[in-house]
Amino acid sequence: MIVDMNKTTPKYKISEAAKILGISVHTLRMYEREGLIIPYKKSTNQRLYSDEDIERLRCIRNAINEEKISIEGIKRIFSLVPCWAIVNCSLQNIDFCKALKASNKPCWTFKHENNFCADKDCRDCEVYKIFNNCESIKTKIIELTFKNIYQKEEIKEEKI
């Protein structure tokens, strides 16, 4: 995957990001607290946002203001993405995965212990990045659904 470093480089302070988005710093901190965004944090704990983060926040704002989806609703939508399928977790890892059993918040909001994601930075994870583009989540869910259906059909054919 080719990544545009200019889009992923954290460069906006929280006040700058808030100004770009036309929202308050308090709102950005609330989105972070709710698990909708993971800002980059410097060693001094200063939050920085990339252009990719700004796009993600625009998608969140659009969902809230235009689609009338609540923050709780957004978290539930995020939680529906089958992270274990995207990162190809083993059955053993799935057994230890708290996110798999939850239906109210996304996988990146959990403390991952004893599983595949334990040493991963969620900001860099493909599952988290799906939500950086307003259309990509729907596309990814459709793709995974058809992949799953296709695999089930192959298994049926093998049994015949």
What digits encode the pLDDT tens for the residues 18-46?
999 999 999 999 999 999 999 999 989 89
CATH number among 1.10.1200.10, 1.10.1660.10, 2.40.50.140, 1.10.260.40, domain 1-69: 1.10.1660.10
CB 77 within 8 Å of CB 121:
no
pLDDT of 118-128, one tens digit each?
A: 777 877 878 87
| Domain-wise residue ranges, the chain | 1-69, 75-160
Q: Token pair for residue 154?
A: 């192959």
pTM of the model: 0.76
Is the distance from CB of 134 to CB of 62 less than 8 angstroms? yes
Which are the contacts of 46, defined by CB distance < 8 A and separation ≥ 6?
A: 13, 14
